[in-house]
Structure 1
């Protein structure tokens, strides 16, 4: 039984998909760039802080990435649109591979596990898309360019709420 899969990124002859993405966005295909982009593409539903990403990459390979090198690389990948940078409710920057649907689909970010889940099925996405398009068109009429709208709902996902409910002090206090 065949399943519908999204189209693969363009692959240059002799290159792997990560190299092709880096080249297509005008970036050098360094070992560090391949590691970082490869890790984030392999974990598309999780957003990472700089420190979390550095720790994850250190466990993945023997040679850790320098903190400054990682900062610069994350910045470059974000500037060319391969990474999404979001600032959470505590004003901490979190990075993840750019989802194809980020410009049109509202998402839920769990403040505990930091998974990012699309909400298109849970909300009336058509209404939200119309509102987003209206806002973008109004700003474009004022001269703003290169815009996208990020509609994020932040809270605790069902999995984290369920697993933490029995040990949470708030849950114990509300049961009394």
Structure 2
């Protein structure tokens, strides 16, 4: 008599991403990557992410462990890291097949807003320019690079508030 095997359980997509990028499948890794994937259009500083995760989850997170994990997720290309004008590092989920994510940084309120919707008509031109720049760097032997396209100024909310 042969035993029937239970159907194989599908691997969790977050676990699959962590494994595919050579990272351990820890509870903190799942939590952090899951958070970024659930909020793809939002960028967070280390402190903002720690506050959001601590508020959302009943578990206490170690600040240094979180910092190291974010850095590892960035190194393997799962997160995008941008440095704003105040040299503050902001992290966001890295969309697949995107080489440059255009965004606007307000120099007054420091809000970071994606511009993909506003630049829809020019998105193909921007992607082509990013691809050309990356190919030129690759031809010169550069490795492990990312691209940041930031427009800096004062957002409409701050501009109208400052005017009144």
> Given the two structures, how large is their TM-score scaled by the length of structure 1?
0.74
Say which structure, 1 or 2, has more relative contact order (CA 8 Å, 6+ apart): 2
Q: Are the aligned partners of 1:47 and 1:116 in contact in 2 as well (CA < 8 Å)?
A: no
Further displaced range: 147-156 or 69-78: 147-156
Is 1:30 matched up with 2:26?
yes
Q: How many residue pairs are counted as aligned between the two chains? A: 153
The secondary structure found in structure 1 opposite 2:151 is strand
Partner of 2:3: none
1:155–1:43 CA distance, 2 compared to 1 (3 A): farther
Q: Are the aligned partners of 1:49 and 1:94 in contact in 2 as well (CA < 8 Å)?
A: yes
Runs of 4+ in 1 over 4 A off after TM superposition: none
Partner of 1:9: none
The secondary structure found in structure 2 opposite 1:84 is strand
Question: How far 1:146 sits from its partner (Å)?
Answer: 3.7
In 2, Cα distance between equivalents of 1:14 and 1:138 = 40
Give structure 1 stretches of 5+ with no counterpart: 1-11
The secondary structure found in structure 2 opposite 1:71 is helix
**Structure 2 counterpart of 1:44, from 40, 44, 47:** 40
1:154–1:41 CA distance, 2 compared to 1 (3 A): farther
Larger strand percent? 2
The secondary structure found in structure 1 opposite 2:120 is coil
Question: How far 1:42 sits from its partner (Å)?
Answer: 0.7
In 2, Cα distance between equivalents of 1:148 and 1:81 = 9
Q: Are the aligned partners of 1:106 and 1:120 in contact in 2 as well (CA < 8 Å)?
A: no
Further displaced range: 113-122 or 53-62: 113-122
Is 1:121 matched up with 2:120?
yes
Is 1:135 matched up with 2:133?
yes
Quote the RMSD (CA, aligned, Å).
Answer: 2.4
Question: How far 1:107 sits from its partner (Å)?
Answer: 1.3
1:107–1:68 CA distance, 2 compared to 1 (3 A): same
> Given the two structures, how large is their TM-score scaled by the length of structure 2?
0.79
Q: Are the aligned partners of 1:44 and 1:97 in contact in 2 as well (CA < 8 Å)?
A: yes
1:65–1:132 CA distance, 2 compared to 1 (3 A): same
Give structure 2 stretches of 5+ with no counterpart: 1-7
1:13–1:155 CA distance, 2 compared to 1 (3 A): farther
The correspondence of residues 52-63 of structure 1 with structure 2, limited to 5 A, is: 52-63=48-59
